[in-house]
């Protein structure tokens, strides 16, 4: 399949860093670093028909005697790791290899954002971010009494808020502009929802995402990023509702279901300007029999289908792989990095109101239970509030 019709295979790179998390219990190491292994063990690479780019090995996780007021925990290690990650990502981005980066916690965004910023410094372009996450991860010294866990602060850090060791690597602060970011999937009660709005970062909460639908939401996000030269996708798996995926560092009620995630991903990665994706925070320590890992792999395989399966979806004409209405100046593999994104046009809603699956090749939405809109308390990442 890979290589057919000019498409390149996707490329999987492991980023098993826990450095941005607080210990789950005193003296324990978080389990998120095990996620790449757990996902690989469910044949993720074979099912994505992916090239294997290996692993960026993180330094030792050792939060030491951190206390409130000490700043971002393990900041030097997080910064060093971001540099290593950016160096490994750069050639993959340059080769249009569609990296699928397997975290690890959300602090790996620092590496992805640094890679985009360095590339922008070379080619004069700006790059964007679609930030799919159950939380804003926007805690910083300007809106909180103290900071600590980079995995709950990475959106603030990549926009230049906080410890200069993390925000200003190579003097490149900020790595991303607020107006080049779109946040999707946060909960209504997120502590920093108003802060990101005030900062100029547009967002859709889960109820809005659901009301608008995934095709239109993906098109909306792409349109907001249409003057960038391409965008990265951050996927924190805690965007999923804990009833379907509780095996995350900080579950919050009121998330989306697997079918919704698959459609959202498929519509986003089908946009020619989509450069790659990172997957964060899945914690195999909460998944002893591996069943959640299997379901997550199913969702990633379905959601990334436009990038690994260039065949038309069953029952679709050949042209479905390049849907009408999507002109593609920045086609995957084109090397046309300086072109701006052409907005993906959402298909009209199906007459019966069902979610359109016209272009994604998806055919198996699940009947998972979807939680009632919750009053979930989001105590982010466990640092004492």
| Cβ proximity to Mn ion, 133 vs 267, nearer residue | 133
- By beta-carbon proximity to Mn ion, the closer residue of 155 and 297 is 155
With respect to Mn ion, which residue has the nearer C-beta, 133 or 287? 133
Closest approach, Cβ 248 to Mn ion, in A, equals 9
Residue nearest to Mn ion (CB): 236
Q: Which residues pair with 102 in a beta bridge?
A: 14, 279
Of 133 and 241, the one with the shorter C-beta distance to Mn ion is: 133
Helices (H), 41-108: 44-48, 75-94
How many helices and strands (H and E) does the chain possess? 12, 8
Cβ at position 204, least distance to Mn ion in Å: 16
Instruction: Work out the burial of residue 49: count CB atoms within 10 Å of its CB; fewer than 13 is exposed, 13-18 middle, 19 or more buried.
Output: middle
Residue whose entry in the numeric block shows the structure tokens 């990023």: 225
Q: What angle do CA 260, 133, 90 make, to 5 degrees?
A: 105
Answer for the pair 237, 251: CB distance below 8 angstroms, yes or no: no
- Interatomic CA distance for residues 271 and 280, integer angstroms: 21
CB 91, min distance to Mn ion, A: 26
Between CA 125 and CA 241 the distance in angstroms is 36
By C-beta, is 133 or 180 nearer to Mn ion? 133
What is the nearest approach in angstroms of Mn ion to the Cβ of residue 271? 22
Q: Which is nearer to Mn ion, 106 or 300 (CB)?
A: 106
Backbone angles phi, psi at 202, to 5 degrees: -70, 150
Parallel, antiparallel, or unpaired for β 11-15 and 128-132?
unpaired
Secondary structure of residue 302 in the 3-state scheme: helix
Nearest distance in Å: CB 145, Mn ion: 20
Share in percent of the chain as helix, strand, coil (round to 5):
35, 10, 50
Residue 369: which residues within 8 A CB-CB, separation 6 or more?
243, 244, 257
Interface ranges with Mn ion (CB under 5 A): 106, 133, 137, 236
Q: Enumerate residues 6+ apart whose C-beta is below 8 A from 48.
A: 9, 10, 12, 100, 300, 301, 304, 308
Q: How far is the CB of 323 from Mn ion (least distance, A)?
A: 31
Q: How far is the CB of 322 from Mn ion (least distance, A)?
A: 33
Q: How far apart are CA 146 and CA 299, in angstroms?
A: 36
The dihedral over CA atoms of 361, 366, 372, 375, expressed in degrees to the nearest 10, equals -70
Q: Which residue's CB is nearer to Mn ion, number 228 or number 237?
A: 237
For the CB of residue 315, give the shortest distance to Mn ion in the complex, in Å: 37
In the bound state with Mn ion, the residue whose beta carbon lies nearer, of 137 and 190, is 137
From the CB of 245, what's the least distance to Mn ion, in Å? 13
Rank residues 96 and 153 by Cβ distance to Mn ion and give the closer one. 153
Least CB distance from residue 249 to Mn ion, whole Å? Answer: 8
Helix (H, G, I), strand (E, B) or coil at 142: coil
- Closer residue to Mn ion (CB): 236 or 295: 236
- Phi and psi torsions of 306, nearest 5°: -60, -20
């Amino acid at each position: 399949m890979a290589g057919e019709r000019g498409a390149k295979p996707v490329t999987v790179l492991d980023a098993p860093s826990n450095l941005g998390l607080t210990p789950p219990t005193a003296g324990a190491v978080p389990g998120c670093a095990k996620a790449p292994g757990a996902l690989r063990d469910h044949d993720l690479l074979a099912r994505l028909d992916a090239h294997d780019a290996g692993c960026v090995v993180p330094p030792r996780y050792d939060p030491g005697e951190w206390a409130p007021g000490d700043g971002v925990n393990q900041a030097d290690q997080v910064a060093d790791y971001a540099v290593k990650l950016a160096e490994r990502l750069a050639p993959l981005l340059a080769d249009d290899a569609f990296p699928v980066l397997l975290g690890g916690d959300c602090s790996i965004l620092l590496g992805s954002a640094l890679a985009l910023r360095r590339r922008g410094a070379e080619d004069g372009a700006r790059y964007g971010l679609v930030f799919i996450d159950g939380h804003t991860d926007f805690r910083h010294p300007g809106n909180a009494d103290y900071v600590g866990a980079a995995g709950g602060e990475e959106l603030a850090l990549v926009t230049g808020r906080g410890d200069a060791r993390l925000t200003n690597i190579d003097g490149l602060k900020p790595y991303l502009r607020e107006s080049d970011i779109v946040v999707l999937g946060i909960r209504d009660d997120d502590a920093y929802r108003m802060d990101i709005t005030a900062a100029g970062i547009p967002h859709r909460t889960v109820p809005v995402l659901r009301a608008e639908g995934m095709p239109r939401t993906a098109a909306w996000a792409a349109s907001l990023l249409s003057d960038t030269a391409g965008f990265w996708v951050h996927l924190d798996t805690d965007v999923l509702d804990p009833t379907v995926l509780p095996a995350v560092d900080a579950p919050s009620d009121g998330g989306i279901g697997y079918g919704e995630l698959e459609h959202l991903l498929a519509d986003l990665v089908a946009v020619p300007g989509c450069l790659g994706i990172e997957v964060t925070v899945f914690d195999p320590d909460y998944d002893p029999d591996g069943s959640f890992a299997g379901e997550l792999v199913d969702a990633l395989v379905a959601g990334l289908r436009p990038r690994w399966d260039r065949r038309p979806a069953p029952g679709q004409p050949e042209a479905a792989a390049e849907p009408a209405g999507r002109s593609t100046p920045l086609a995957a593999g084109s090397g046309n990095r300086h072109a701006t994104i052409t907005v993906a046009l959402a298909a009209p809603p199906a007459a019966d109101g069902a979610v359109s699956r016209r272009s994604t090749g998806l055919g198996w939405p699940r009947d998972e239970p979807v939680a009632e809109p919750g009053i979930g308390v989001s105590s982010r990442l466990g640092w004492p509030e």
